[in-house]
Amino acid sequence: MSNQFWKFANNSIAISKDRHEYRETPFFSRFEHKGGYIMMGYPFGLSGKWYDAVKTDQLTIFHEYFHAIQRMYENHPQAPPDQPDKFDGPDWMKEGLAVYMSEYTVGLLRSIGALEHMRKPIYETEEEYRSYAAIDAALMANLDDIEVLKKEHPGISLKTSGSAWESNAPYVYGAWAAAYLSHIAGKEAFIDKYYPAIDQVGWKQAFKQAFGMSIEDFYAEFNQFMKQPLEVLEDFLNS
């Protein structure tokens, strides 16, 4: 995992535990590169002070922070007029990766005790509470959302998952795509290879360099992968 992402996690946890909850404390973390930043109010989920420091709050912080990292590299000022999206990745990559990285990071930080669980699972059933342990559970739950999407939009796929403004398709397909790609190239490849290369060569070529195949080949391979039975997908996550 990128140093920058972990540094943010550790700093934010330390700061949130250090501040009084009634003081107005905007959290503002600068990046080493120009362009990305995050501002937030008191990060309930990091402080471990309340029962409602639930996972969703923790996830939201890491999800939005991951977008800030992505923004450092996207929206290149010199996109050619005929390729306005040359430097932008698709929404499934933006949202799916933010979902995947935040689920992975929060799960890991919870498992080593760096981020706290609710002390009493008062808003969550015992079962939900336990299922929060790992990203794999979140990805398996996504498969239910994919079934619903397929009924609403027959023939939908990662490639046609569309805009994050329109549906949750880029989130649920994208999270699985991020899991699949990280099995190929490792979690580091996104921040260390893919995003830095976007700036020079555009997202499609950056994808090829980071993951060793064209985006069209990946769409085809990923479609076949997602057609497999539930048990096979579950085994993949455990592999």
Residues at the contact surface with Zn ion, assessed by CB under 5 A: 95, 98
**Please, what is the minimum distance in Å from the beta carbon of residue 63 to Zn ion?**
5
**Please, what is the minimum distance in Å from the beta carbon of residue 97 to Zn ion?**
9
Q: Which helix (H) or strand (E) holds 135?
A: helix 135-152
| Complex with Zn ion: residue 67 or 208, whichever CB lies closer | 67
Q: Which helix (H) or strand (E) holds 40?
A: strand 37-40
| Complex with Zn ion: residue 2 or 209, whichever CB lies closer | 2
Torsions phi, psi for 53 (to 5 deg): -75, 65
Q: Name residues whose C-beta falls within 8 Å of residue 229's C-beta, 6 or more positions apart in sequence.
A: none
What type of residue is 43?
A: P
| Complex with Zn ion: residue 88 or 116, whichever CB lies closer | 88
| Complex with Zn ion: residue 69 or 181, whichever CB lies closer | 69
Q: Name residues whose C-beta falls within 8 Å of residue 223's C-beta, 6 or more positions apart in sequence.
A: 157, 158
**Please, what is the minimum distance in Å from the beta carbon of residue 65 to Zn ion?**
10
**Please, what is the minimum distance in Å from the beta carbon of residue 115 to Zn ion?**
19
Q: For helices 55-73 and 3-18, what crossing angle results, to 10°? A: 140
**Please, what is the minimum distance in Å from the beta carbon of residue 82 to Zn ion?**
28
| Complex with Zn ion: residue 66 or 218, whichever CB lies closer | 66
Q: Which helix (H) or strand (E) holds 81?
A: none
Distance CA 25, CA 63 (A): 20
